[in-house]
Amino acid sequence: MTPAPPVAFVVWGSLGDLHPFLAVAGALRERGIGSIIATHEEYRAKVEAEGFAFRPMRPSFADLEAEFAADRATITRQLLERPLWLFERAIFPFLRASIADTRALLDETPWLVTSSPAIGARLAAEERGIDWLAAVLQPMQFLSEEDPPALMPVEWLAPLMASLGRGPVRVMHRLLRRLMRRMARPVAGIRAELGLPTVDADPVFAGQFGPAGVLALYSPVLATVRRDYPPRVRVTGFAFYDSELGGDSPLEPGLERFLAAGPAPVVFTLGSSFVHSPGNFYRESAAAARRLGVRSVLLVGDHGRATYADLADESCYVGGYAPYSALFPQARLVVHQGGIGTLGQALLAGRPQLVVPYFGDQADNARRAARLGVGRVLGRHRYRAARVARTLATLDAEPSFAAAAARVAGRLREESGAERAAQCIERWRAGAPTGMPV
């Protein structure tokens, strides 16, 4: 008997984008369903270490660095200075390459699951007449008028817009979609080349939703399905995966010894992307911890160890990477950038947190965390040691933050996002609507 074709996941982005798909692929494997992970070449070793088939999907990070004659830190600074640069320079110019890579992938399987930035993969699926399944990692991607997101760099407008009702929110979202359509003119040109019909939906927000349905791979504590969501959306819960190189990833011995040597530390991290362009984050963090008289862990990335080695002492550990699932539960407080994967792990650990948004969805993720009562938000341009120390002292002293964090963690432990997503995919393959309860 010929084995059934595997499910192909097309993933574009950081490790926070990749990890949930590795978790879902693992849950599918438990059901006897194979997976292909098509993503940046730099993730090959991690994907193959987990036993999944890997296919390269352009651009790789090396492609981007060669295109711009710049290193990862310079590219990250570009993103911070010009957020639309991600689409204008890093996604749209490589669409033809990613379409070609997806065509080869679709020769292997008709079962395609796409991440939000995988625009080329969706164009290739549409060209083939294949109904792909979309996967969304953040509530912001739905651009709901009922639950309006905080959009950087005007995230401060979110409470005001919500208080004014749906009319002003509708106008703001309409303007944003118009901006995205104008920016995405290259996509319209490629659609014409492929013989695809003209569409009104912008490719960044509304255009990402698959005709087969949408998997929202985050917890319903952050957002539930709203009436203005697209059809067949299933909020599965977080799909957790936490390993640096694939397989087991324990804490490094030096960090284990540090944790065992004294009280729980405050952990400071910027995830896997903005660790390349942290600004003043780590030095102000170390200074804040010293002001409070608490121990600290700074996760600076392997490339940052030498840069911040001078901050290390008996009360401050400077490390490259640590699996959050092992480290965060041993933290006193967690300070992070608000990436959805980092936020999920901090919520699961049940620790109060300070969120310092840098880019994209992070301000909206931060607002939702604050709304849950688990922490506070501080803008990165206001991130100074004295202010950070005062905020951390409040988080540490006020019992409501710890109580809310424990309550939310309890709810997340009852979820099984990867398993629910795998159930939805299995039903989809069998011809059932993915949005139905599982």
Can you give the pLDDT at residue 75?
A: 78
Query: In terms of pTM, does the model score above 0.85?
Result: yes
CB atoms under 10 Å from CB of 262, counted, come to 11
Instruction: Render pLDDT for 337-373 as a digit per residue (tens, 0 to 9).
Output: 999 999 999 999 999 999 999 988 999 999 999 999 9
The CATH code that applies to domain 253-413 is 3.40.50.2000
Which CATH number is 7-238+415-429 given? 3.40.50.2000
Is residue 315 pLDDT above 90, yes or no?
yes
Nearest to 286 by CA among 306, 303, 266: 266
Residue 437 has pLDDT above 60, yes or no: no
Q: How many C-beta neighbours within 10 Å does residue 353 have? A: 28
* Ranges for all domains in the chain classified under CATH 3.40.50.2000: 7-238+415-429, 253-413
For the segment 83-117, what is each residue's pLDDT rounded down to a tens digit? 777 788 888 899 999 999 999 999 999 999 999 99
* CA angle 170–176–181, rounded 5-degree value: 125
What's the Cα-to-Cα distance from 79 to each of 59, 170, 248, 291, rounded to whole Å? 16, 27, 32, 32
Please say if the pLDDT value at position 2 is more than 80.
Answer: no
Report how far residue 113's alpha carbon sits from residue 434's, in angstroms, rounded to the nearest whole number: 12
Task: Look at residue 41 and tell me whether its pLDDT is greater than 90.
Answer: yes
Residue pLDDT, tens place only, 128-161: 999 999 999 999 999 998 898 887 666 666 676 6
Identify which of 146-150, 154-158, 172-176, 292-296 has the greatest average pLDDT. Answer: 292-296
Q: 265: which DSSP letter?
A: P
Going by C-alpha positions, the residue among 133, 135, 161 that lies closest to residue 147 is: 161
